[in-house]
Amino acid sequence: MATSNMKLLCSVLNKMRIDHITTRSINSPPRFRPPYWYLPKERVMSDEMLTQENKDFLEEVKQDKLNLQNTLESPLIKSETQETLQWTPGTRRTGLIARKIGNYPLWSKDGKKFQTTLLQVVDNHVIKYIPPEEFKPMKTSKVVWKEKRKLGCLLVGSETIDPSTVTKEYCGLFNTVGMLPKRHLCRFMVSPQASLPTGTPLFATHFRVGDYVDVRAKTMDRGFQGVMKRWGFKGMPASHGVTKTHRRPGNIGAGGEKARVWPGTKMPGHMGNRWRTLRGVKILRINTKHNILWMLGVAIPGETGAMCYLFDTVLPLKKLKTPPPFPTHPPADDLPLEYYDDSIHLFEEPTITFEES
Amino acid sequence: MSLVIRKSTVEILCAAKWIFRRDCRLLSTLPEKTEIVVDEKERIPGRKTRSYNPILENRHVYPEFLPDPNPNWRNSLREKMERADMLKRRSQIDIPEFYVGSILAVTISDPHAQGKTNRFVGICIERKGCGLRAEFTLRNVVDHQGIEVRYELYDPTIQSIQVLRLEKRLDDKLLYLRDALPEYCTFPLDMDPEILPEGTPVPINPVQVKLKPRPWLERWERQELKGVSNIEEHLKEKDRVRRELRKTPWEKYDLMKNYRKTIPAEEQSEIWNEVYNQLQQMRVSRKKMSRKRTVTTPKTQLA
Amino acid sequence: MNQADVSKLVSKLRIKVPPKHRKLSSPQGPEGRLNKLRKTVTGLIKYERIELNYRRADEARQYAERLISEAISHGDCHKPTMEIADYWLLEKQLVHKLFKVLVPRYENCNTAFTKMYKAPQAYYGRHIDKAVLELRGNPYPTLTNKQSNNRLLLQNVLLDAAKYDYRQAKYAEMAEKLGKTEEVKSGQSNEDRNKPSN
């Protein structure tokens, strides 16, 4: 009896695990945890000392894979199910990854000049879809606004790169779809009915001319800046007895009970290099061959060559009113080369003249 | 006689020397011909210059087709789209060849003007911007009041650009006309166009303007202007000293600074190969049209 | 937006040109900077391989490239080019070297005229990046790794084997395809033959 008890005790002790101890208290914020599809991308490049033939061989394999990727057909053409999907004002479509390539003016039909920004949508492909049941993002302590809809997560990549420049794990993410790795990867939260099969190419025709979009991008990095540039303070006079305080902020607080610097006081510091969203930008013109969007205004954050993410706008007055291409525009060969907004004067049209009323 | 003899002796001596040299050469192991070849080979690299592509001369006529040289703002696709749009606009309106210093007449459609068009004549004092943003400034003195109008070259409200006098001036920018006596930039609004015969190079007008006494808008004395005659009259000793202090004679040797301001020839030839054929076609068709017009107009007058 | 300067025509450099110049600290300002670079460029043309600080080497390299490309495109009978060479080369016999030795050497060259390597830093002292700057085609022994083309390195041996397998698979696939098309063709031709006989 005693031996059996001893055996039982031993087995219980053997089975006991001490890795279930949680040390985190309820109040402390969760540590940063990258999303689970995130894999280390950068690798240390070194001279491999390959012979020329071997370098050529690697190039050939890469080229073959690229050709294979180009021959992939869009899954949207094969499946005829998208006919049944209907867009409603509540659904959320996927967005696009674009590159800012510069700005130039367009003129309206009444002779007004519009400055526009050109965004190029460079081979965007759907890499993965995670349905809402499986998608569990990191929980943060500060929940400002809770999404009532259940949204899935769609991964979109853009710009094919050389697979030898990134890690094997990162390549593996794309190999499952039969693609070469992409330089940029972005997560778009979409309604389940707006989900897309993996490998679907996305084009600039996903949006229409005249629609409004939100553009999210990183602003230009301006470094440590003073208060005049960073917050637009007025500074102080150049003369009239002012000494050494021409560009300084002046007073930063009151006395008495408030005798401290209040949180959020505008002070010198690092300016730029932050994610900012510009909402409600109108699309004036679309080129379907090169996938370029002409956006109204020059306030899209970032310098020329920066990446930005495009979404359907959330502004209530500028929201989509008519059904857009849903879930996205399928690839088609017979599209017109360019779409123009109604207000835009085409360069090949005759000179603007005004009629006497 | 003695003189003659002396001369002849000198000649004989020279001849003897020459013969002797030749003999020496003949005696030497190296043949004569190879030496000449060697001489040529040595000369070739010095004298030989790269074959010059005449298509590059377009850069003076259409400077706005070259992109901004700042590499932070460049993108080949954007530049291509921009050039395509410029050609589309040029198919609708004749934008003639003109330079800073030429006298132009520009007609634009203006919703607020009487007859809905507005015509202005003036001297082009500045050309700047590239691509669709290219612009030029016209200056004239109307009723003793200096007037400057800036036009955009590819603005679709411009109905016509007419060159009244095609010429260049001594400087790249004529902004000093603002401080010059008004007669240098006064042009009648009903000026007749002066037509240059075909194939003549664009003349350079060597006129030197006289500046008004100070105050000036800019420190013209520091800009090394060629088209101003009386700048020294208005200067004090202080200005001369400061001008000397501000001079930057090393800047013309700063090879990289010059390089960063220009578009290299290889990139330029790519651009011109892309647009030149279309530009040439437009020019030829315009010429045909204008010839037809010149033929038809006298007929109507006669009738 | 500025217009490109059209008064001069330059040939494109074969090296990467940074968008902005690098400041070299000098009490004389931009003139002093050029004087520093003149010394370096003269030294480079004279000795054909020099070791110096990375920042200065990178700047001097651009100027040396430009000088040689100007000399190639204009030749020694072009007065402005001669003035530039006179300014940049402090020892005047090097002007002859530029036009008579370097121009023929690089006339038909498709790559950059100079090479730059990162040099090892000194173990003690201030940590300043060092570089070796040299003219291409210099008489000194090379600085590059001689192992770079070795077939017996493990990665090369493995890649050779992989290449063999890949090619075999590819050829087999192509042969299969060809065989299929031939079968189809022969089948069609047989049918064609059969039809008239019927």
pLDDT level of residue B298 (50, 70, 90 thresholds): very low
pLDDT score recorded for residue B230? 92
A111/B116 touch (CB, cutoff 8 Å), yes or no: no
pLDDT attached to residue C122: 81
Is A31 within a domain? no
State whether A50 and C159 contact (CB < 8 Å). yes
Choosing among B74, B256, B263, B268, which should be mutated to test the C contact, i.e. which has the most C CBs within 10 A?
A: B256
| CA distance to partner chain C, nearest, from residue B59 (Å) | 6
Question: Do A50 and C155 lie within an 8 Å CB cutoff?
Answer: yes
B39, part of any domain: no
Is the model's pLDDT at B279 over the cut of 50?
yes
pLDDT score of C161 more than 90 = yes
Determine, yes or no, domain membership for A5: no
Residue B10: inside a domain, yes or no?
no
Check C73 against B259: CB less than 8 A apart: no
Residue A327 backbone phi and psi in degrees, to 5:
-70, -25
List of chain C residues whose C-beta atoms are within 8 Å of the C-beta of residue B47: 75-77
**Total count of domains within chain B:** 1
Contacts of A109 (CB under 8 A, 6+ apart): A343, A344, A345, A352
Cβ of residue C149 closer than 8 Å to a chain A Cβ: yes
Whether residue A256 is contained in a domain is answered as no
Question: Averaging pLDDT over each range in A150-159, B35-44, C121-130, which range is the top one?
Answer: A150-159
Q: Where are the alpha helices (H) located in A16-71, listed in sequence order?
A: 52-71
> Which CATH number do you get for residue B217?
2.30.30
Q: How many CB atoms lie within 10 A of CB B242?
A: 15
Q: Is residue A44 part of a domain?
A: no
Residue-level pLDDT at A13:
81
CB contacts, 8 Å: A54 with chain C: 155-156, 159-160, 163
Q: If you search the block for the tokens 């076609």, which residue do you land on?
A: B281
* Residues of the domain holding B195: 97-262
CB contact under 8 A, A120 and B115: no
Min Cα distance B199 → chain C (Å) is 22
pLDDT in tens, B157-216: 999 999 999 999 999 999 999 999 999 999 999 999 998 888 889 999 999 999 999 999
- Find the chain A residues whose C-beta atoms sit closer than 8 A to any C-beta of C: 47-54, 57-58, 61
Query: Mean pLDDT in chain B?
Result: 84
Q: Which residues of A touch C20 (CB under 8 A)?
A: none
Interface mutation target, options A48, A50, A59, chain C, most CBs of C under 10 Å: A50
Q: Report the residue of chain A nearest B108, measured CA to CA.
A: A353
Q: In Å, what is the CA distance from A48 to each residue of A219, B271, C159, C195?
A: 37, 38, 12, 63
Fill in the DSSP letter of residue A82.
Answer: G
- Whether B275 is covered by a domain: the verdict is no
Per-residue pLDDT of C2-46, as tens digits, reads 899 999 999 999 999 999 999 999 999 999 999 999 999 999 999
Say whether residue B21 is in contact with chain C using an 8 A CB cutoff: no
Give dist(CA C136, CA C68) in Å, integer: 12
Find the CATH number of the domain harbouring A280.
Answer: 2.40.30.10
Q: b vs e for A8-41, b when ≥16 Cβ sit within 10 Å of the residue's Cβ?
A: eeeeeeeeeeeeeeeeeeeeeeeeeeeeeeebeb
**Does the pLDDT at position B42 exceed 50?**
no
Query: Which among B89, B109, B116 has the least Cβ separation from residue A347?
Result: B89
Q: What is the pLDDT of residues C73-93, one digit of tens each?
A: 999 899 999 999 999 999 999
Contacts of A50 in chain C (CB under 8 A): 155-156, 159
- State how many domains chain A has: 1
pLDDT band at A134 (very low <50, low <70, confident <90, very high): confident
Q: Is A263 among the domain residues?
A: no
pLDDT for B5: 43
Residue/partner pairs of B273-281 with CB below 8 Å, 24 or more apart: B273/B55, B274/B80, B274/B83, B275/B62, B275/B65, B275/B83, B275/B87, B276/B55, B276/B58, B278/B87, B279/B58, B279/B62, B279/B87, B279/B90
Average pLDDT over residues B218-244: 94
For residue C20, give the DSSP letter: S
Do the Cβ atoms of A57 and C156 come within 8 Å? no
| Minimal C-alpha gap between B151 and chain A (Å) | 12
- Chain C touched by B86 (CB under 8 Å): no
Share of chain B above pLDDT 90, in %: 73
Specify the pLDDT at position A144.
63
Reply yes or no on whether the pLDDT at C195 is more than 70.
Answer: no
Contact A47 C148 (CB under 8 A): yes
pLDDT bracket for residue C53 (50, 70, 90) = very high
Whole-number pLDDT of residue B186: 95
On whether residue B134 sits in a domain, the answer given is: yes
> Each residue of A31-70: pLDDT tens digit?
666 776 778 888 888 888 888 899 999 999 999 989 988 8
For residue range C93-122, list pLDDT tens digits in order: 999 999 999 999 999 999 999 999 999 988
Does residue B21 have a pLDDT over 70?
A: no
Nearest residue of A to residue C156, measured between CA atoms: A50
pLDDT (mean) for B266-294: 89
| Each residue's pLDDT tens digit, A93-113 | 999 999 999 999 999 999 999
Query: Looking at the partner chain, which of C8, C59, C99 has a beta carbon nearest the beta carbon of B258?
Result: C8
Specify if A232 maps to a domain.
no
Give the model confidence (pLDDT) of A228-266 as tens digits. Answer: 999 999 999 999 999 999 999 999 988 888 888 998 899
Asked if B64's CB is within 8 angstroms of C3's CB, the reply is: yes
What's the confidence (pLDDT) of residue B156? 96
Whether B132 contacts chain C with CB within 8 A: no
Helix residue ranges, H only, chain B: 2-27, 32-47, 58-61, 76-92, 237-246, 255-261, 265-302
Q: CB A352 to CB B109 under 8 A?
A: yes
Task: Judge: domain C30-144, CATH 3.30.365.10.
Answer: no
Q: Does B79 touch chain C (CB under 8 A)?
A: no
**Chain A residue nearest residue C165, CA to CA:** A57
Q: What share of chain C is helix, strand, coil (3-state, %, to 5)?
A: 55, 10, 35
- Range(s) of the domain holding residue A99: 52-137+150-222+270-340
Q: What is the mean pLDDT of residues A311-337?
A: 91
Subunit contact C10:B264, Cβ cutoff 8 A: yes
CA-nearest of A102, A286, A304 to B79 is A102
Domain layout of chain C by residue ranges: 30-144, 145-198
User: pLDDT tier at A83 (50, 70, 90 boundaries)?
Assistant: low
Q: Please determine, for residue A284, whether its predicted confidence score (pLDDT) is greater than 90.
A: yes
Express each pLDDT in A1-22 by its tens digit: 678 888 998 888 888 766 665 5
> Does residue A254 lie in a domain region?
no
pLDDT, chain A, mean: 88
Structure-token pair, residue B204 = 């350079």
C166 to chain A, closest Cα gap in Å:
9
Give the best-scoring range by mean pLDDT among B4-13, B29-38, B65-74.
B65-74
pLDDT for position A177? 86
Contact list in C for residue A48 (CB cut-off 8 A) is: 155
Indicate yes or no: CB of B77 within 8 angstroms of CB of A345: no
Would residue B72 count as lying in a domain?
Answer: no
